Amino acid sequence: MSYQVSHFIHGQLIPVTGKTLEIYNPATGEVSGQVALADQSIIDNAVAAAKTAFTAWSGTTPLRRARVLFNFKMLLEKHIDELAQLVTKEHGKTLSDARGSVQRGIDVVEFVCGVPNLLKGSYSEDVATEMDSYSVRQPLGVCVGITPFNFPAMIPLWMFPMAIACGNTFVLKPSEKDPSCSIRLAQLLKEAGAPDGVLNVVQGDKAAVDMLLKHHDVKAVSFVGSTPVAEYVYNTAISHGKRVQAFGGAKNHCVVMPDADLEQAADAIVGAAYGSAGERCMAISVAVTIGDKVADELIKRIKPRVDKLVVGSGKDKTTEMGPLVTKAHQEKVKSYIDLGVKEGAELVIDGRDFKAKGFEKGFFIGASLFDKVKPEMRIYKEEIFGPVLSIVRVPDFNSALKLINEHEFGNGTAIFTGDGNAARTFANKVQVGMVGVNIPIPVPVAYHSFGGWKRSMFGDIHMHGMEGVQFYTKLKTITQKWLKDSKGTEFSMPTHH
Ligand code: NAD
């Protein structure tokens, strides 16, 4: 049955009016609903609701805010299967993968339940005679989150729970491709006891984003999406005086050393390259093999695993890889495979003609593997964001490190080895934000922080963990003295002499 997804402002769903976009079921290829597109008045209303709510919410004690978040965590746990189903329905990934991603979002909520402790300031007694100094972290005001299609629950949960725990209020603009989850999250937060206006959701595309980036009352913007949009969001929001963190695309390499356990490495690489149909910013899209023998042996192990890969509807419990999110994305990924062939890479496994039985109109593509990919090829340089793995053969460890360090992206990377010294040198020298040692997808846990380097991130402060607290607060330092006797007027810089 067709459904409509609208905005959630000041605790209420807003009836759909004006322009809409179609939402698809990626497994069947059918239109399943419509999503509203916010106009200026919707954006103004959402920001105004958040601005009004800020006064009382920022004055609510951190302990009371934490209690709301604790209720929210319990409600998320209760509704985890329902949220996972919403993810699968509009994104296409498998239910178990969707459930795992919601859980990773809940982990952040759990972390921010400790916000009274996270916000504790510092105090220095006697910074001068009878003078003390202390520092506190205070909220910013209305914060905005703009999120991508590939994690419709987890990435919003990286942002707004942390922001509101710190005393801010929030306007979320989710991806127009899978907008339903964000509304359910907002309803559950309301049920948990958050006052109206603390979290608002506006639906839309570029036009809605532009209105938010330029809005006078927005103080900070968190963005996750592709690199060209991240760079645009960063520059636009900065020039309008906002604090910004904008996370972009990726090309994540894993290095396979000659001493690696190749069975384990092949398992890890197949899961990390083809899980979620490669639509993860931490997916492995390049395997860098040290020496030809490693490449040949690795391919020998990847091929049978790919042959056995169950591709189909994400709702089917046996499915291991679902469809891509839209027809346009399916065509884009296929065109990259065409390009790779033209560029001279060796297509070892070709998933272009794959059809899922019973889902012939779905946006599927089979797992694909290129060997002998060269650094100058576009299939190496650009993010494909689909189930396409490239093997780049290099002669030694230093060539692998140089290759990774010269790539424009620096989100995640991994090394498979039994050699502690190689692993340590890799972790120490690689120019990438998140590094795995014998771990293919090293997404930091909620109490550490997530963020890439180079053109995978614009801004300075990573997401969740203590960096999240830093991003969503500003530091104030108070120096105080309770005067008994005035020492008269002083004109020089105060010192200890
Ligand atoms: P996208 O950049 O197309 O869209 C992201 C958000 O920006 C959406 O809400 C969209 O409505 C909005 N948007 C799109 N075009 C815009 C424009 N021209 N101006 C202003 N706003 C615009 O990204 P996507 O396709 O939804 O997501 C996939 C991308 O996200 C991949 O590149 C992936 O690597 C990246 N990603 C990065 C991370 C990370 O943490 N670095 C995590 C997840 C996804």
pLDDT digits (tens, 9 = 90+) for 13-70: 999 999 999 999 999 999 999 999 999 999 999 999 999 999 999 999 999 999 999 9
**Best substitution site from 158, 175, 383 to test ligand 1's pocket, by max atoms within 8 Å of Cβ?**
175
**Best substitution site from 177, 221, 226, 441 to test ligand 1's pocket, by max atoms within 8 Å of Cβ?**
226
Nearest to 1 by CA among 45, 26, 34: 34
CA dihedral over 474, 453, 299, 426, signed as positive or negative: negative
* Mean pLDDT of the region 431-455: 97
User: How many angstroms separate the alpha carbon of residue 98 from the centre of ligand 1?
Assistant: 19
- pLDDT of 493 above 90: no
How does DSSP classify residue 277? G
User: How many angstroms separate the alpha carbon of residue 381 from the centre of ligand 1?
Assistant: 18
- pLDDT of 127 above 90: yes
Ligand 1 in reach of 96 Cβ (< 6 A): no
Ligand 1 in reach of 147 Cβ (< 6 A): yes
* Mean pLDDT of the region 87-96: 97
User: Tokens 């190749």 sit at which residue?
Assistant: 262
Q: What is the pLDDT of residues 419-428, one digit of tens each?
A: 999 999 999 9
User: Tokens 């984003």 sit at which residue?
Assistant: 209
pLDDT, residue 485, reads: 74
- What DSSP element (H or E) covers 380? helix 378-381
Ligand 1 in reach of 158 Cβ (< 6 A): no
pLDDT, residue 147, reads: 98
pLDDT, residue 265, reads: 97
Q: What is the pLDDT of residues 200-253, one digit of tens each?
A: 999 999 999 999 999 999 999 999 999 999 999 999 999 999 999 999 999 999
pLDDT, residue 484, reads: 75
- pLDDT of 289 above 70: yes
Q: Are 391 and 417 in contact (CB under 8 A)?
A: no
Ligand 1 in reach of 324 Cβ (< 6 A): no
Q: Are 253 and 436 in contact (CB under 8 A)?
A: no
Burial 10-46 (b: 16+ CB within 10 A, else e): bbeebebeeebbebbbbbbbeebbbbbbbbeebbebb
CA dihedral over 233, 235, 239, 244, signed as positive or negative: positive
Ligand 1 in reach of 361 Cβ (< 6 A): no
Ligand 1 in reach of 237 Cβ (< 6 A): no
pLDDT, residue 216, reads: 97
pLDDT, residue 497, reads: 64
pLDDT, residue 487, reads: 72
pLDDT range class, residue 494, cuts 50, 70, 90: confident
**Best substitution site from 37, 205, 413 to test ligand 1's pocket, by max atoms within 8 Å of Cβ?**
205
- pLDDT of 345 above 80: yes
Q: Which CATH superfamily is domain 3-248+456-478 in?
A: Aldehyde Dehydrogenase; Chain A, domain 1 (3.40.605.10)
Whole-number mean pLDDT of the chain? Answer: 96
* Mean pLDDT of the region 107-125: 97
What's the burial of 48, exposed, middle or buried (CB within 10 Å: 0-12/13-18/19+)?
Answer: middle
User: Tokens 């890969």 sit at which residue?
Assistant: 309
Q: Which atom of ligand 1 is nearest to the CA of 147?
A: 9
Is 254 catalytic? The answer is: no
Q: What is the pLDDT of residues 478-489, one digit of tens each?
A: 999 987 777 778
Ligand 1 in reach of 285 Cβ (< 6 A): no
- pLDDT of 306 above 70: yes
Q: What order of strands is seen across the sheet that includes strand 122-128?
A: 122-128, 131-139, 473-481
- Report percent pLDDT > 70 for the chain: 100
pLDDT, residue 208, reads: 98
Q: Which atom of ligand 1 is nearest to the CA of 451?
A: 40
| Choice among 113, 143, 166, 281 that is catalytic | 281
What's the burial of 406, exposed, middle or buried (CB within 10 Å: 0-12/13-18/19+)?
Answer: exposed
Phi, psi of 277 (to 5 degrees): 50, 35
Q: How far apart are CA 295 and CA 287, in angstroms?
A: 9
Q: For the chain, what percentages of helix, strand and coil (3-state, to nearest 5) are there?
A: 40, 25, 35
Q: What is the pLDDT of residues 367-414, one digit of tens each?
A: 999 999 999 999 999 999 999 999 999 999 999 999 999 999 999 999
pLDDT, residue 371, reads: 98
* Mean pLDDT of the region 255-259: 97
Q: Which CATH superfamily is domain 252-437 in?
A: Aldehyde Dehydrogenase; Chain A, domain 2 (3.40.309.10)
Q: Is 135 helix (H, G, I), strand (E, B) or coil?
A: strand
Question: In the chain, what are the domain boundaries?
Answer: 3-248+456-478, 252-437
- pLDDT of 349 above 70: yes
User: How many angstroms separate the alpha carbon of residue 149 from the centre of ligand 1?
Assistant: 7
Ligand 1 in reach of 225 Cβ (< 6 A): yes
